[in-house]
Structure 1
Amino acid sequence: MVNSTPVIAGLFSLLVSIQAMALNVTATVDKNPAIVDESVVLTVIADGSVAADAFDPSVLEQDFVVGGTSISSQTSMVNFKTTRTTQWTTLIIPRKTGVLTIPALTVDDATTKPIQLQVLAQGDKTAQQQKDIYLTADVSKHEVYVQQQFTLTVRLHLAAELIRGSLAEPKMTGAEIKQIGENNEYSQIIDGKRFRIIERVYAVKPQTSGKFVLHSTMFDGEISASKQQRRSVFSSFDRGKPVRMKGQEIDIQVNAAPADFTGEWLPSELIVIEENWPDEQSEYELGEPITRTVKITAAALGAEQLPKLEFNAPDGLKIYPDQADVKNGVQKGALISQKTQDFAIVPTKPGTFVLPEVTLPWFNTQLNRTELAVLPAKTIVVKGAVPVNIDNTTAMNTPLPVHVVEQSNTTLQWLFLAGWLLTAMAWLYQTKLKGRSFKRETFVPSTKHAYLKLLAACKQNNGQQVMALLPAWGNELFPEQNFSNLQQLSQHLQNDDFDKQLSHLQHCYYGAQQQAWHSDKLLKIISRLQTQGEQQQQVAFAINP
């Protein structure tokens, strides 16, 4: 009889060896329950060396949004026994609430056990308590008009340490979206739990009417995974936990502009136009510039949408606009914009002048009607001597003054007088002959770009810019000159008051003890010199047209 015991023992050893060689695969999730629209980390581990594409996560796409998958492998040796593992880490986002099944996943010929994942709604109290990171979003308006801007505020709440992260830009079909200002960071205790909050505000400007969905944002990042674990003394850094979550989707209704509306479309909740004058004076001096500051403030409009300001100047006043200063901001969740602009008003003759009323039509989105923002008419009084205004006709009909030198020789005096009379009569005769073809011309001052820039620099008390602009202003005022520095200009002007104020300006900036400089005195001198220079140009033009 053959002894079968060794055979049975050999078969048993063979079976054990084959079983040991079989691939073992497990699947786990980092949280259960999970929250809808927030990421879950699915980890699949195979205790062997397998191909990177042995695991296919696309089988999960019916119930989950499947993100990227990272792959890592590890080899270790203990007691001369080599162990190899392969790990896949995939971010999945539940599409709906309820109990979702992660099915058995296949890696080569091995399969994992199914996982029953409970998915809670965003507002569920249990979900709120277990969150270490989540997004919220709200808008200032759910219903707006075309080009009426509203704000979107996105907040990232963090109770865990953030290693890295980024917020995707919001999206809405047919709308311009841009961030307002910088991120705002603060802390807040919510349900007894302290959160670090990163807040970002966007301005949304719809360009077309209809019903739209505003996709608030998407967060993609990594938080510390060792919040409740003691860090190893041999570890120089935490192992990060990848996180991806989707922000809220918000319904927005955009209404078209009313068909009967005419004019420039300015949809707003409020528009105010106001002005400021220097010291609220009632009288001004001839030739000295007057600064009129006009400011438009609007709600639910961007500063770039505010209209260009233009004013009709009555005869006797010249108006020069300065560069407008625009600002956008947020107050109590509403977008507020401002446009501020200075206008230099230069009187060219004395008298009483009325600046006409300015009206700005806009559409009130709260009352659904057209309204007017009004800047009332303004009366100003200008005092001073009438500037010389000589044209060709006056110059040609007015003989130039003759200085007669007294001499003891009366005969010689009469000869000079007779010669002068003959010359004058000949000139009058030639003028009479050409009178029919004579065409009157008037002096037209050139555009004073350097003067306007100099005025603006003085108003801002910017002494360095004033010193840089003075030679250019001199060249503009005296076209026959070519000043390249302040010394040349000073020598040409021969004006003690100007020299005194220029010296004071240079001392404020370059003296041993620097001090603040104010332009009031120098500005008056420059304005007076400008008026005198224009008068001289008028006389020169009259004599030599």
Structure 2
Amino acid sequence: MVMRLFCCLLLISAMPLWAMTQLQASVDKNPVLAGEFFMLTISADDTIKNDQPDTSALLKDFVVGPMSVSTRTNIVNGSISKQTNWSVKLMTREAGDYTIPSFNVAGISSQPIALKVAERSKETEQNNDIFIKSSMSSDSLFVQEAGVYTVKLYLAKELLDGNLTAPSMPDAQLSQIGKQQEEYELVDGKRYLVITREYLVQPQKSGIYTIDAPVFQGRIRQNYRQLEVSAMGDSTMIEIKPIPSDYQGAWLPSELVNLDEQWQPDSDTVEVGTPITRTLTLTVLGVTKEQLPDIELAEVQGIRSYPDEKENNHLVRDGRVISQQTASYALLPQTPGTYTLPEVSVPWYNTKIKRISYATLPARTIIVTPSSLTNATAPVPVQAQRVNEQSQAEQPVRTVQIHNTPLWLIITCAIGYLLWLITLVLWWRNKGTPSSDKSPDTKVQGDSTATSLARLQTHAKNANLSAFHHELNCYAKLLTQQSSNAIDALTQQINDEQLTQQVAKLRAALYSSHDDTVELALILKVLAANKNKKRTSQHATLKGLY
């Protein structure tokens, strides 16, 4: 036991103690150009699973890409080494001297890195195969006024893959409008593929701001080689003006606001109960659809108003944001009279003349008349009823002439009917003659079977088997109309198991030495039941015929 414990301790002491002892940070380029991406790699000499470097300090001076992590294990001559690498792409927009700070993982820190960023030469930018141009629809906006920022990426080489970042601006909302557009353009005799993106800019605070241009990084094909390239646009300065202190109401900054309406039917005179559709259209330049105010109509006594669901939309045309709201109202006059619908006014701030303006619809007067359906269904006056009755009384009486049936037609029909009756009587007499001929035979046959059955009963009482068998054969001949094997035919016709057994016993008692007991009464019972059954069947058949 002691030896086993000693061996285990020896093996444990012989195993290497894998624990991180070193953390290093390095870059693949130094110096780098402004707007050029480079790779920062942080390496640890161990496998790290639940910890990673914090790169949030880099956001102050660099554009930071996503981080990737990888681990590997090397075994050389029995020596095992492990390593964990964190990689992240960085880029800075301005030239100068920068310091990449130290990082800490599992209590171990790396050394900071001094980085030099050089300015891009203008000649290089002009002759480059990839460059970015950006522009703003206006160099000044009011708070919450919408502007359009346009980015164009020019590519003169075949693009394999790439990534174009989005622009950024503090205290503002930037969102891409629609999908990017691709077209070809000639610049100084050189053919470029131009990728255009438009962004909606909505500043939330006043002041002087800078819109950081997007940055492109990708790979192109040049002379059967793949080259990594990058490009960066120029930053744009913009002034954001505050909301005027004397402005009242919902803030709506714009260069142009228009309010229009349509009526259906387009008439100032309508009847009671006739629905009127009033459609208001508000068009505003320089704001988004979410900024459009709701238009409310004042209630008018005597006219009911039923609003429909409002529809808001916006689009970009010639670098300007155009928003539109469509609101429909169903007006239903209740009582006759003259009504004045008050004017509709929407306040807005004119960014051109720097003052408050109003988009207005003038008041409108409509005349509501009684419904024509009421007059159409009014009761007829008494005097008119008397005139109608008098005119009906003075109408001439029409004479209706009745035509009599000719005498020759009546005589012809009577003769035909008489001939039909004579034919029917003769047919009935001919039909009755065969029936009377058949009746005696049927009666004689019935009497014969009854007599034969009575004889069978007498022979059964006397227990005379020979006489009973002889009379049974006669009875079978009467029923089956067969001269030979009549008893067998009768048993097959009746198809009764007891009858078949007793007939077999009767024959055995007559023609063999076996002393079997024959139940003659049972044979009579089966024959009588068959006779009654046959009679009932005949009555049912005759009843069905008549």
Larger Rg belongs to:
2
Richer in helix (by share): 2
TM-score between the two structures when normalised by the length of structure 1:
0.48
**Which structure is richer in relative contact order (CA contacts within 8 A, separation 6 or more)?**
1
TM-score between the two structures when normalised by the length of structure 2:
0.48
